[in-house]
Amino acid sequence: MKIHNTLTKRKEDFETIEPMKVRMYVCGPTVYDFIHIGNARPMIVFDSFRRYLTFLGYDVNYVSNFTDIDDKIINRANELGIDPKDLASQYIVECKKDMEGMNIMPATTHPLATEEIDGMIDLISKLIDKGFAYVGKDGTVYYDTTKFKEYGKLSHKNLDDLQSGFRDIKVTGEEDKKTSTDFVLWKPKKEGEPYWKSPWCDGRPGWHTECCVMAPKYCKGALDIHAGGEDLVFPHHENEIAQYEPIYGAPYARYWMHNAFLNINNQKMSKSLGNFFTVRDVLSRFSGNVLRLFMLSTQYRAMLNFSFELMESSKASLTRIKNCVDNIIFTLKNKNVTVNLNSRLDNIDDFDELVVDLKTCEEFRDKEVEAFDKICEHTKIYFDKLDDDFNTADAETEIYEIVRIVNQTISEDCSIEFLNASYMILNTLLGILGIDLTKEGSDTDLDEKLIESMISERSEAKKAKDYARADEIRKKLLDMGIEIEDTRQGVKWKKV
């Protein structure tokens, strides 16, 4: 598998620090409000990437934080007249609800910045001791960017350019800064703000220090993958590297993965433009599955344009997939086979085994042999696409190809083996993208009792030689999209 590394600007072979183990850290949201649709992109992309790594057999330690102390949180809490801690806890709960709505797996660990202050004080002390940080008159601690020779290596900027870019920007409260690119590691409290005691002053850590303490602690060492939105490359991730590497004397992360922005109707999302949407807004109109199918329909490093029209089109695509899967389930039901809706291949070896097992399957009808071959071909292309810098956009195309083949092949006389394998493969490929059709509000379960009772009413009518009534019921069922067939084994029905 190859992934694009922001650090080298190249696609590189993926090799982990420990064999078959992945230490992955994804910067989480600052919790001062409901998360917006822009926050959802890294969540969905990297959740799917985690699922794919797991499918490939890796044991993934997935860490994603909540920034629960920050200027934005304090300002919002002050506006509302509540404790910043309460505000943050409330929005962590809301964020987790949205994540569940988007079918995002909980991280292995979700550390909170406010619970890691000791580790941050410890790191800052070490940076001061080693001469990489200095203390201003008011107790503010600054990182000295001139001391770290590799500063700018992630964002591919050199320090001189950065400094000239920053020259005119003076931030109040940072008067003792030596160089414009220096950044704050610890800042003194203001009246009414939450604070922690430290050797320098009562105050709180800077944001860049938070991740760089939580990531190695919960990933247990340097990272295989550090991921986040591209807006985090500079200064956030650049500053994390600058703190970690002088202390640990080793690379902080092997691979840096960054997803591109999300625009709304080809414009930057902003509250002032009136095109600001929360995940909650979107999930009130579309399912989490539709949102995922949409978000993954663009490769993660390409700009993604969000609009409700495009979401409608993803919804139509999901319906197409679901109809195909429902058809497989119906056809199996008519053969008295109940499908375990959660059945999927756990890992890539299971897929290879399935291919070998069914290559010589004697139950396959002629048309199924050919169809199964094609399905396997498209499945392999799907994996190749994901292996190529996680190209979910092209991988989705392969799912549609498989749906097309199944639709062309499926009929009453299909073998149980072909139907089962088709279900298994589709459910697996959808599962890697985090699409769970059982959450799609299946109409099959809802209608089933009604259908059965209508069928038995029709049989009663036929017995009573009331053929007009029997025909009427058959027509009604057909209007509902259900076709019935009288067979020697009884009445069978299927969705049409």
Residues near Zn ion (CB under 5 A) = 27, 211
Of 223 and 432, nearer to Zn ion (C-beta) is: 223
Report in angstroms how near the CB of residue 233 gets to Zn ion at its nearest.
11
Report in angstroms how near the CB of residue 104 gets to Zn ion at its nearest.
17
Report in angstroms how near the CB of residue 25 gets to Zn ion at its nearest.
8
Report in angstroms how near the CB of residue 71 gets to Zn ion at its nearest.
15
Of 212 and 321, nearer to Zn ion (C-beta) is: 212
Of 77 and 211, nearer to Zn ion (C-beta) is: 211
Of 76 and 226, nearer to Zn ion (C-beta) is: 226
Report in angstroms how near the CB of residue 77 gets to Zn ion at its nearest.
21
Q: CA-CA distance, 370 to 416, in Å (whole number)?
A: 16
Report in angstroms how near the CB of residue 204 gets to Zn ion at its nearest.
16
Phi, psi angle pair for 259, to nearest 5°: -85, 150
Closest CA to 28 of 86, 95, 93: 95
Of 223 and 295, nearer to Zn ion (C-beta) is: 223
Of 232 and 358, nearer to Zn ion (C-beta) is: 232
Of 44 and 328, nearer to Zn ion (C-beta) is: 44
**Residues in Cβ contact with 283 at an 8 Å cutoff, skipping those fewer than 6 apart:** 98, 101, 102, 291
Closest CA to 258 of 156, 138, 365: 156
**What is each CA distance from 73 to 110, 422, 472, in whole angstroms?**
18, 49, 64
Report in angstroms how near the CB of residue 219 gets to Zn ion at its nearest.
13
Query: Which amino acid, one-letter code, is at 410?
Result: I
Report in angstroms how near the CB of residue 241 gets to Zn ion at its nearest.
12
Report in angstroms how near the CB of residue 26 gets to Zn ion at its nearest.
8
Q: Do 427 and 289 contact (CB within 8 A), yes or no?
A: no
Of 162 and 227, nearer to Zn ion (C-beta) is: 227
Of 70 and 436, nearer to Zn ion (C-beta) is: 70
Of 27 and 421, nearer to Zn ion (C-beta) is: 27
Q: CA-CA distance, 350 to 91, in Å (whole number)?
A: 40
Report in angstroms how near the CB of residue 244 gets to Zn ion at its nearest.
12
Report in angstroms how near the CB of residue 1 gets to Zn ion at its nearest.
24
Of 66 and 351, nearer to Zn ion (C-beta) is: 66
